[in-house]
Amino acid sequence: MGVRRRVGGFVLLVNPILCDGFGHCAELAPDLVHVDEWGYPIIVTEPVALANLAALESARYAVRGCPRQALRIERVHDAH
């Protein structure tokens, strides 16, 4: 077990080809994902700090909850 350094940030990314607009991500990560009027996700594009554990946890829930496995979390180093 190493010490997890909470530096940098993450973005939640959707594969629009896999996405079928189930809308589970918008329920599980409501601060990161909004749905358009057709039910497809609009995801906050600017990186969120990894230190924001609530946001990170909700993003992980969204990734796990996606019925189409269309979401992934990508680390970026220039978090705001």
Does 18 participate in binding other proteins (rule CB under 8 A)?
A: yes
Least separation in angstroms between residue 3's CB and other proteins is 23
Give yes or no for residue 26 binding other proteins (CB under 8 A): yes
Residues across the chain? 80
d(CA 41, CA 12): 11
Using CB under 8 A, pick the residue from 54, 74, 75, 76 that binds other proteins: 54
Pairing mode, strands 41-43 and 48-49: unpaired
Residue among 8, 52, 60, 73 that touches other proteins (CB under 8 A)? 52
**Taking CA 77 as the corner, what is the angle to CA 75 and CA 80, rounded to the nearest 5 degrees?**
105
When asked if residue 74 is in the footprint of other proteins (CB under 8 A), the reply is no
